[in-house]
Structure 1
């Protein structure tokens, strides 16, 4: 084990652990340090204002308050968390609307096998500040409200079935969700300075209408899951109901891959890896190193090869890649949009197209949001 890994394992506190052997590479548990991107340096900004590595290109998919090309659908303001779903030989990209006062919800854009847009539509409306969320193995999108006593809504990416409120998943400042099909649970993050890391255990896997909400706790250095007595969160917030609940400083995006749930915390600018089988947690990235490029950690996704892609809320409007060999480097940068944030990164099923948004675009307002697609030689092996 490298010295810096030993130091970080100690620094993150009792009850955390570094991984070893094959899990070391899979979870990237040694904290990533600045280095050279596997894709090389960023090139000058293209016509869309996006700086990308050589060989990559961008296109605009949709603009908030404007009609999506080739459709009659007006794209929502303040696009945030997103995901892709296979649709025959094509796919669907869904995106949340982080708009308050009942103006939130989610929309979708449908693509054919050639990546041409074939449709766009609303899949959720009338909700509040739908920030991030997560896809389920049964092809629904969990859209999460980032408000006090917020709900999770289960939505249909095809827009056929009506969205359903899932109160059993708890009412709190929801941020993101990630499904673990092995343990048959949904992990949930909470966007509060003293937020918690939760998991929802459905009574029947594939049906989120009932189940048990649990919170990660730490007592005498031992991590465990405890039932939340009152998932409704009123009058006592869910994060205050269990003695010893482990606190995280502003939970943001989360993504499950190969036994690991990765999630970000904006208050301390960290990326975490929860090893579900071992019941341990480690820091993948911490910006407390010289030259750290990733600041304002937010939404996160992963490529099939194992690279993590972390979007910035603030910073210099970058999306950074964290590789399995512990290198963190910028993958793209959006220029001329310093009052915005990068949101909703998601790969199409083939892994050769990356979707994301600039939530407030060049205007600095949610009505100026822009949703992009990047194509290029994404690596398929290490």
Structure 2
């Protein structure tokens, strides 16, 4: 069964139709994605914001680090990083981490139904180097500290409830989180050259105060089967979580993580790979590897944050490279979706779709200045396929 056949036949209610590999037991793995024509055509000339987009798409600046968000009295944070969108009545909210140390934390921007900014505010303070994270099905934002023995903080995008530290989810150099409502677990990446891939099983789904942290155990190949093993000491002291379980699979610089339809994807920046776990049969494979693109013509390098659309496309942001967000389609084609020009000392962070799927939010962490105080958060609107 080809991926496109599986995807078109998938019915997931209101959830995203997932880009996924073959899920039939014993079937051959699909090949990692290769360059080809993207679903939206070639990129046009840079617009007034310095962004190259396909025809029919437009960009606008939502916020700049250190400057007041338009229409509010709130100054946007430095080094904007991981983000997500949350429905808010007829409007929505975009949350964004701040990857600075000390301070860090996270902020939110509120939009009405027409996309006008109506508010901005802080949702997490006093933490360190909040890099990526993930959205929960109960509409909280998991903000992850990318420091040794870092914590996960559960925050309220609506700015009502105080943020809560979640030590049961493990203390390590956290990156991203992705919730799996089917198995009632949260997947976690670790930004170490010999990092691991984890899942947290809450004692009660919807309550992250207690549970079991497990690590993925597998061979050294780029495909095969995997199992989960309990991490004896999630607090990571005196032995780091990644060193506690024999046979835990090592990944070179875990970054973004995304779940949909019995599949979880995560990226590793050290080797420019997108990994795919097929959760119904406990197998893993490569969804993308720049070293497997013939002729050194890989369009996607510096793989970092990742999100998915309701259609099943993956959108992968580059940390460096040529400052692109690339799309990986269900047909295993990888192509540039946008490029930010004039910001070669920055990285793209926090891609996330609005609830309707027609607006994509992301940031250039260091903007044109190359400094964490120069971050810029953008919105791209257009005919995204849904």
Q: Which bin holds the TM-score, normalised by the shorter protein?
A: over 0.9
Match of 1:91, SS state, is strand
Instruction: Give the aligned partner of residue 85 of structure 2.
Output: 84
CA distance in 2: counterparts of 1:222 and 1:107, whole angstroms: 39
Instruction: Give the aligned partner of residue 313 of structure 2.
Output: 307
Return the match for 2:328 from 302, 322, 337. Answer: 322
Return the match for 2:287 from 276, 284, 292. Answer: 284
Determine if the alignment matches structure 1 residue 205 to structure 2 residue 220. Answer: no
C-alpha deviation, 1:59, in angstroms = 0.1
Alpha-carbon contact 2:63-2:70 (below 8 Å) kept: yes
Q: Deviations over 1:246-281 (max 9, x none)?
A: 111100000101111110001110001111121111
Instruction: Give the aligned partner of residue 217 of structure 2.
Output: 217
Return the match for 1:378 from 368, 374, 384. Answer: 384
Alignment of 1:163-174 (within 5 A): 163-174=163-174
Instruction: Give the aligned partner of residue 253 of structure 2.
Output: 250
Q: Report the aligned-residue RMSD.
A: 1.7
TM-score (norm 1): 0.92
Structure 2: tracts of 5 or more residues without a match: 3-19
Instruction: Give the aligned partner of residue 133 of structure 1.
Output: 133
Instruction: Give the aligned partner of residue 124 of structure 1.
Output: 124
Match of 1:247, SS state, is coil
C-alpha deviation, 1:223, in angstroms = 1.6
Instruction: Give the aligned partner of residue 236 of structure 2.
Output: 233
Instruction: Give the aligned partner of residue 275 of structure 1.
Output: 278
C-alpha deviation, 1:30, in angstroms = 2.5
Matched length: 361
Q: Deviations over 1:327-379 (max 9, x none)?
A: 10000000000000000000000000000000000000010000000001111
Moved beyond 6 Å, runs of 4+: 21-24
CA distance in 1: counterparts of 2:207 and 2:385, whole angstroms: 35
The change in CA–CA distance for 1:342 and 1:202 in structure 2 (over 3 A counts) is: same
Determine if the alignment matches structure 1 residue 293 to structure 2 residue 299. Answer: yes
The change in CA–CA distance for 1:372 and 1:327 in structure 2 (over 3 A counts) is: same
Match of 1:127, SS state, is coil
C-alpha deviation, 1:29, in angstroms = 4.4
Alpha-carbon contact 2:305-2:316 (below 8 Å) kept: yes
Q: Deviations over 1:88-108 (max 9, x none)?
A: 11000000000002x100000
The change in CA–CA distance for 1:146 and 1:201 in structure 2 (over 3 A counts) is: same
Match of 1:330, SS state, is strand
Alpha-carbon contact 1:29-1:273 (below 8 Å) kept: no
C-alpha deviation, 1:234, in angstroms = 0.7
TM-score (norm 2): 0.91
CA distance in 1: counterparts of 2:136 and 2:287, whole angstroms: 24
CA distance in 1: counterparts of 2:30 and 2:304, whole angstroms: 19
Alignment of 1:104-183 (within 5 A): 104-183=104-183
Determine if the alignment matches structure 1 residue 20 to structure 2 residue 26. Answer: no
Determine if the alignment matches structure 1 residue 334 to structure 2 residue 335. Answer: no
Instruction: Give the aligned partner of residue 360 of structure 1.
Output: 366
Match of 2:78, SS state, is coil
Alpha-carbon contact 1:255-1:302 (below 8 Å) kept: yes
Instruction: Give the aligned partner of residue 262 of structure 2.
Output: 259
Match of 1:126, SS state, is coil
CA distance in 2: counterparts of 1:317 and 1:29, whole angstroms: 28
Instruction: Give the aligned partner of residue 190 of structure 1.
Output: 190
Determine if the alignment matches structure 1 residue 97 to structure 2 residue 98. Answer: yes
CA distance in 2: counterparts of 1:219 and 1:54, whole angstroms: 44
Match of 1:239, SS state, is helix
CA distance in 2: counterparts of 1:21 and 1:284, whole angstroms: 14
Q: Deviations over 1:172-230 (max 9, x none)?
A: 00000000000000000000000000000000000000000000012696521010000
CA distance in 1: counterparts of 2:143 and 2:25, whole angstroms: 30
Alpha-carbon contact 2:225-2:282 (below 8 Å) kept: no
Q: Deviations over 1:31-86 (max 9, x none)?
A: 11011111000000000000000110000000000000000101000000000000
Alpha-carbon contact 2:23-2:281 (below 8 Å) kept: no
Alpha-carbon contact 2:216-2:227 (below 8 Å) kept: yes
CA distance in 1: counterparts of 2:161 and 2:22, whole angstroms: 44
CA distance in 2: counterparts of 1:255 and 1:82, whole angstroms: 12
Q: Deviations over 1:102-158 (max 9, x none)?
A: x10000000000000000000001100000000000000000000000000000000
Alpha-carbon contact 1:104-1:127 (below 8 Å) kept: yes
